[in-house]
Amino acid sequence: MANQNVPLRVTREGGIVLIELTRPEIRNPLNNELKQAMDSLVRSLEGDRELTGVILTGTGGVFSGGGDVKAMSRERASGEYNGAEDYIARMRHSHGWLRILRELPVPVIAAVDGPCVGAGFSIALLCDFVLVTPRAKFAASFCKIGLAPDLGLFYTLPRAVGQQRAREIFYTGRLIGAEEALRLGLALEIVPEDELLTRAWGIARQMEQSSPVAFALTKQISARALESDFETLLAQELQAQSILLASRYNGEAVDRFAAKEPPRFNFK
């Protein structure tokens, strides 16, 4: 699927989909071509009942350099985007597929090698887990070109590192290396470059070993945990657990446990 106009390569093994950004020579920019490709791909995954995991990564030692600044300059000069109304439409388009990616009822793993800045940083933090190599570098570099953070970073970054540290990262646009990313909670693990995808596939496969419904409900509730009060979370817990206790998956799992039989995963 990778060519000059569709800068993605998609590989599927069973229910796990690997998405690779394939233009490292220009830092895998989130240009219009990539956004259109992501929109089509993510929407196709939304209703995929066989999907069990998604891995998102870049090739050539680059995750993503964020927005295509050279394209922005060309668009401004040509008049292709000629006012706030044009930019609002473009941002709303991106928000559409970003919401779907964030809410997929399966684990979504960002495997970050090299630069992950600007909008690339935003997309990585929308994932459930972020694995990094020692040469990974993050930055909310929007301020350096007179922009505000976008693609959900105002939501995800303060929840990952706290409000004060998020503001420092927003205001300075400085680089954050792999060790600091791990310390701040931006990354789950640091993995050698040649083991990054192996580890990502391993996590995705490990998480196939559970009830799809239980995983989906757990992800849905935990995604809203930080902005919900205690009573709201108790109500959501009650609803989810009632559904799951009545499920065939739980019934079989409990019976096998009681009979001292090994668990049988991927029961539908």
* Tens-place pLDDT, residues 133-152: 999 999 999 999 999 999 99
Which range among 43-52, 62-71, 233-242 shows the weakest confidence by mean pLDDT?
62-71
Residue owning tokens 């630069």: 115
Instruction: Give burial (CB, 10 Å; 0-12/13-18/19+) of 144.
Output: middle
Domain membership flag for residue 268: no
What is the pLDDT, as a whole number, of residue 67? 85
Cβ-contact 207, 215 below 8 angstroms = yes
Domain membership flag for residue 147: yes
Helix 32-46 to helix 84-103 angle (10° resolution) is 40
Domain match, 202 and 230 both: no
Domain match, 229 and 133 both: no
Domain match, 100 and 189 both: yes
Domain match, 64 and 189 both: yes
What is the pLDDT, as a whole number, of residue 266? 60
Residue owning tokens 């060519």: 3
Domain membership flag for residue 242: yes
Can you give the pTM of this predicted structure? Answer: 0.91
Name which of 69, 79, 76 is nearest 118 in CA terms: 69
What is the pLDDT, as a whole number, of residue 265? 60
* Tens-place pLDDT, residues 90-138: 899 999 999 999 999 999 999 999 999 999 999 999 999 999 999 999 9
Instruction: Give burial (CB, 10 Å; 0-12/13-18/19+) of 224.
Output: exposed
Domain membership flag for residue 266: no
Domain match, 35 and 86 both: yes
Domain match, 20 and 58 both: yes
Domain match, 72 and 179 both: yes
Q: Please, what is the average pLDDT of the chain?
A: 92
Domain match, 168 and 253 both: no
Domain membership flag for residue 3: no
Q: How far apart are the first and last CA of the chain?
A: 31
Residue 230 belongs to what domain range? 212-258
**Tally of domains within the chain:** 2
